[in-house]
Amino acid sequence: MARDIAKVGVIGLGTMGAGIAEVLARSGLSVVAVEIDDEGARRGRGHIEHSTERALSKGKLDEAGRAALHERITYTTALADLAEVDFVIEAIPENLAAKAEVFAELDKITKPDTVFASNTSSLSITEIGVHTARPGKVVGMHFFNPAPVLKLTEIVRTVVTEPEVIADVVAFAERLGKTPVVIGDRAGFIANALLFGYLNHAVRMYEQHYATREDLDAAMRFGCGYPMGPLALLDLIGLDTAYEILDTMYHQSRNRLHAPAPLLKQMITAGLLGRKTGRGFYTYDAPDSPTVVADSTQESTVDTASARPVRRVGVVGTGTMATGIAEVFAKRGFEVVLRARAAEKADAAVAKVRKSLDKAVAKGKLSESDASAALGRITPAVEFDALADVDLVVEAVAEELSVKQAVFAALDEVVKPGAILATTTSSLPVIECAAATTRPSDVVGLHFFNPAPVMKLVEVVHTIATAPDVVATAHAVCGAVGKHPVRCADRAGFIVNALLFPYLNDAVKMLEAHYAEAADIDTAMKVGCGLPMGPFALLDVVGLDVSLAIQRTLYNEFREEGFAPAPLLEHLVTAGRLGRKTGKGFYDYTVR
């Protein structure tokens, strides 16, 4: 028989605790909200009043509903007032000793059947629960911030949690309008365990001056469709909170990738905690404000004044990426030479561009005259000599270094002096392509993202030999074709893949350890973190073989143990389960 929960206690009325209390009251429950002192209770009430005022102004709550919500919440500073509640949710700061003390005290006060839940985002539920005489009735119930908005709730079971308690808590979460996922007791649970390794890696990139904060954030927003870049997200979370979560995860996992980046500690010591203090990686116009203002640490953009003129562009290749790049340039008025190995391949490539342009016309994104004009600017070619007078040539052939080097050697012989030679490789060293030429200073990486006509990001990759005016030209050209360029050095994975694929690999390791099901992990990252796709759905789209190759490249370059490809990924590729293209990956698909 399902547990009857009518009255709930909430301990701690910070941003998260106040949000949880609001969710409970909005669902018709009576709430006893406890804070350490009157000032804390006043602040907590203020959080809820502010939140409900915003809901009222947006039409998500009417005046009568708002008044009824507030009437359901009783504020107190005495734990003893929780004696008659059916369920307690603790949401005090992330300190194990403090939480253990609260739970031990609750155990003496509440009814024997009352269930205790901790909203901890990283601490062990088992260690908290052993301080009570009812560890079987202790669970984790991790809400996400802001609690009234975000749907995901991680329900954390320990080895002694009673099954019926888990069933009751899942039903309770659903009653609150949340999407629950049930998981075991492990540092970071699902979302934080995957999210914070990625965030920490981004801090290390910034710390090493590999890329600017603006370029790091733009890369993940435009390249992956993430709602926020990693450094802006850390400012929102709070650098002190992030440090505590990472430190807890590191002490449980001993995974060096979870060891907090030293820069985090330095910024915390300096009081730069993010939005809540008005300054973190970015500077805000006031504490708790989302508005970023210019500051002395603002990174300068690339000066394109020295850019070389580019009017005619060559594209080498006939795959989806090559034809997409040709379309991007042709639509923006550039004359394009599309070079293929054979005449029939060249004709097929132009036909592929025509099909893409027709789709854009059908969707109302392009006029028929503009599509016709764009197609007219593309000249198919077979010989490299056809590229002799281009100002920029972009190589987009298969990801095999020997093939790319052969193409660059051929281009070096025929393309005019001063022309820029670019590769759109996603993982191979750009300098290896440059070394195949007699003009390494004219070689740059221009990593477009697939599909090139749609995706806005281009990673501009400079090698140790790339001339500054070549980088300036690359940025100017990206702007001319409506793309957002981000600058980075010639290192495996550049920005996006170097941040994305270790996260995906960590998700595979989590599945491999039977910690959670693929669907639950995907749900946690989509619903809890607002990502456009969960890691396993994304791996299936990218292709498990492609993902494995990129992960191997990252591991071979950085020699970081945590980057070693998950054995499960290796096994699936060996078994021919490559994702959507084969109909079977982490999920099964209907192949048409």
142 is catalytic: yes
- Residue 305: predicted pLDDT: 86
- Residue 210: predicted pLDDT: 94
DSSP 524: I
27 is catalytic: no
122 is catalytic: no
Q: Domains (ranges, CATH) in the chain?
A: 7-183 (3.40.50.720), 191-293 (1.10.1040.10), 304-489 (3.40.50.720), 519-582 (1.10.1040.10)
Is the pTM higher than 0.85? The answer reads yes
DSSP 525: I
Query: pLDDT tens for residues 69-104?
Result: 999 999 999 999 999 999 999 999 888 999 999 999
90 - beta bridge partners? 11, 118
Query: pLDDT tens for residues 184-240?
Result: 998 888 999 999 999 999 999 999 999 999 999 999 999 999 999 999 999 998 999
Residue of 118, 119, 122, 142 with catalytic role: 142
Q: What is the mean pLDDT of residues 410-436?
A: 96
Query: What phi, psi does 179 have (nearest 5°)?
Result: -105, 100
- Residue 304: predicted pLDDT: 83
Is the predicted pLDDT of residue 592 greater than 70, yes or no? no
User: Rounded distance, CA 277 to CA 546, Å?
Assistant: 42
Residue of 35, 154, 214, 432 with catalytic role: 154
- Residue 299: predicted pLDDT: 63
Closest listed residue to residue 195, CA positions, set 227, 170, 222:
227
Question: Which residue type occupies 364?
Answer: G
Q: What is the CA radius of gyration of the chain?
A: 27
Query: pLDDT tens for residues 95-104?
Result: 899 999 999 9
DSSP characters over 302-333? P-GGGPPP--EEEEE--SHHHHHHHHHHHHTT
Q: Which two tokens stand for residue 586?
A: 């982490």
User: Rounded distance, CA 511 to CA 193, Å?
Assistant: 12
Closest listed residue to residue 436, CA positions, set 448, 457, 421, 453:
421
Query: pLDDT tens for residues 534-588?
Result: 999 999 999 999 999 999 999 999 998 889 999 999 999 999 999 999 999 999 9
Q: Are 495 and 216 in contact (CB under 8 A)?
A: yes
- Residue 254: predicted pLDDT: 82
Query: pLDDT tens for residues 369-398?
Result: 999 999 999 999 999 999 999 999 999 998
Q: To which residue do tokens 């001339």 refer?
A: 467
Residue of 51, 118, 119, 121 with catalytic role: 121
Residue of 122, 124, 192, 356 with catalytic role: 192
3-state secondary structure of 460: strand
CB neighbours of residue 111 within 10 Å: 10
